[in-house]
Amino acid sequence: MPVFESGEKARRIFTDLFQILLKDDTFTARMRESGITLHLIQVKPDLELYITPDGVQDGPPTEPAVIRIKMSSDTAHSLWLGKLLMPVALATGKVRIKGSVAKVLEFVPLLRPAFDRYPEIAASEGLPV
């Protein structure tokens, strides 16, 4: 049984997660300095987010993103909870990334605060943690 019963719930949770990150001046400054933009594509349920230092846009990007990450919403849930490690997800094909490997390696450590907050967000929405 899927973790998310609706695309709207998944969209709300992952939008909130990235909005938390964007409130961190260090996160946004590092995104700007590195020129990082992110196109997040999740399926089952489907959602697309375009994340820039200026905000989260619902839907496909208005211009090509530097990093594109595609996975199922259930895989995203497992990753954010720390139950699935990114190297394993990549090796097994559960996550597909397009873009500069250097930019991805630069971006991943910036996500730490979101990993810390996601279990609380998921639990507050009634998701299994």
pLDDT in tens, 73-121: 999 999 999 999 888 998 999 999 999 878 887 888 888 889 999 999 9
Q: Where are the beta strands (DSSP E) in 19-104?
A: 38-43, 47-52, 55-58, 67-72, 95-99
Residue 95 contacts residue 55 (beta carbons within 8 Å) = no
Report the relative pairing of strands 67-72 and 55-58 from DSSP bridges. Answer: unpaired
Domain boundaries, the chain: 7-121
The whole-model pTM stands at 0.93
Condensed to tens digits (0 to 9), the pLDDT of residues 27-37 reads 999 999 999 99
Q: How far apart are CA 25 and CA 118, in angstroms?
A: 19
Which burial class, exposed, middle or buried, applies to 71 when counting CB atoms under 10 A from its CB (0-12, 13-18, 19+)? buried
Tracing tokens 């590092």 back to the chain, one arrives at: 30
| Domain boundaries 7-121, CATH class | alpha beta
Residues 6 or more apart from 48 whose CB is under 8 A from it? 39, 40, 41, 42, 58, 59, 60
